[in-house]
Amino acid sequence: MNKILILTASIGSGHIKAAEAVETELRRLLPDAEITTVDFMARRISRIHCFMKDFYLMMLAFVPNLYDVFYKISGGSSGGTLVQNAFAWVMMPVMKKLVRRYEPDLVLCTHPFPEGAASLLRRRHEEHYRLATVMTDYSLHQIWLYPAVDRYYMATEEMRMGMIGHGFAVSTLRVSGIPVAGTLKEMTDKAAVRHAMAIPEGQPAVLLMGGGLGLGGIESNLRDLEKIEKRLTILVVAGRNQRLMERVQDMAYASHHQVLVWGYTDQVHFLMRAADLLITKPGALTMSEAFVLGLPMLLHDPIPGPETENAIYATQHGAAVWLHPREDLAQSVETLLCGDALSEMSRAARGCARPDAAAAIAEDLKTLLSRRS
């Protein structure tokens, strides 16, 4: 019986969603396998890891430019190695405990922190598990790159070519796309979803999201959308941000739009299917889901570093418009709602979609397991 340990990180929701998508396909392909998914940054796993996560989130909330500096430093070949090794050494003891507990044949990581610790442990202690990584970005970055990884799954051919340039073996690289839930490609009946949500026929629906943490200036976006005279349905996902959810509910009462509010919810795919336009930060998983659904995006406030690269990718492919600071949100939305802009962006989004990424990754992992020594 194969034993598979999937390691993710509760830093936002994207890494967890990627892990869940692949786990679902692995359970379908390998029904007898023992599969365990662990949040590597959870307090019950390590208080140190949890502190590091909290510090990371504080950086995003108060000093995003500091993260930009860190991202640039860790992107250089020498600086990147120094930063990577520091994180890997700190986290390796916890990784060792997890490996001793679960005795995996395969370790699959959807975040670079557990990947680094698993790579270091494998090199230092001659562990025999297979190691695979799902990269949840649309650009290549040093922080994902470690030796002793048997498989890398990535979003684009450009990333693969970049890794070849870094000296990685071609046999370890797979352009799979970023894994999303397999149910997304089955959600075809937009009219039925809108009817179930009581969205009036012909009324544009705009979805506001800021990831699982409720980031991204949702309140200010709502205020800006009040400038639009045409009545909209505005769907708001506040995530785990309870204070934001309460404030948005108060704003909904005074709005001339139809404003519907959710906290952290498993109904996001239905909300995305109902929407005509998604206003969000450019998280890679959110973008990947929007691609599959053909949902045009208005992107704003990227976290400096990886999300900036994600925004560049989506806009260059015609699937999104990037709203830069001091640009008028309301005017941009009104422009997009007129004419054929949204239909053209929808076609472009579907052109970027990789709905079968999770299934392709699971198939390749099954092959990798069958070849283990």
* pLDDT tens-digit series, residues 190-222: 999 999 999 999 999 999 987 545 455 788 899
For residue 209, the domain's CATH number is: 3.40.50.2000
pLDDT tens readout for residues 273-313: 999 999 998 989 999 999 999 999 999 887 777 788 999 99
Question: Is the CA virtual torsion 315, 292, 355, 23 positive or negative?
Answer: positive
Examine the domain organization and report whether 67 and 163 are in the same domain.
Answer: yes
CA dist 281 and 287 (Å) reads 9
Q: Which of 351, 290, 350, 345 is nearest to 319 (CA)?
A: 345
Examine the domain organization and report whether 137 and 224 are in the same domain.
Answer: no
Let me know the angle formed at the C-alpha of 123 by 118 and 127, rounded to the nearest 5 degrees: 70
What local confidence, expressed as pLDDT, does residue 1 receive? Answer: 84
Examine the domain organization and report whether 145 and 192 are in the same domain.
Answer: no
Query: Given the structure tokens 């806009």, which residue do they identify?
Result: 315
As for how many domains the chain has, the answer is 2
CA dist 212 and 195 (Å) reads 26
What local confidence, expressed as pLDDT, does residue 297 receive? Answer: 97
Examine the domain organization and report whether 168 and 204 are in the same domain.
Answer: no
Examine the domain organization and report whether 77 and 116 are in the same domain.
Answer: yes
Examine the domain organization and report whether 214 and 144 are in the same domain.
Answer: no
CA dist 260 and 248 (Å) reads 9
Examine the domain organization and report whether 212 and 104 are in the same domain.
Answer: no
Examine the domain organization and report whether 136 and 200 are in the same domain.
Answer: no
What amino acid is encoded at 82 in this protein?
A: L
pTM here? 0.89
Examine the domain organization and report whether 19 and 100 are in the same domain.
Answer: yes
Give me the domain span that covers residue 285: 184-352
Coil, helix or strand at residue 281: coil
Examine the domain organization and report whether 141 and 189 are in the same domain.
Answer: no
Mean pLDDT of the chain: 87
What local confidence, expressed as pLDDT, does residue 341 receive? Answer: 94
Examine the domain organization and report whether 123 and 215 are in the same domain.
Answer: no
Examine the domain organization and report whether 238 and 278 are in the same domain.
Answer: yes
What amino acid is encoded at 219 in this protein?
A: E
Instruction: Give me the numbers of helices (H) and strands (E) for the chain, helices first please.
Output: 15, 12
pLDDT tens readout for residues 70-88: 556 555 554 457 777 878 8
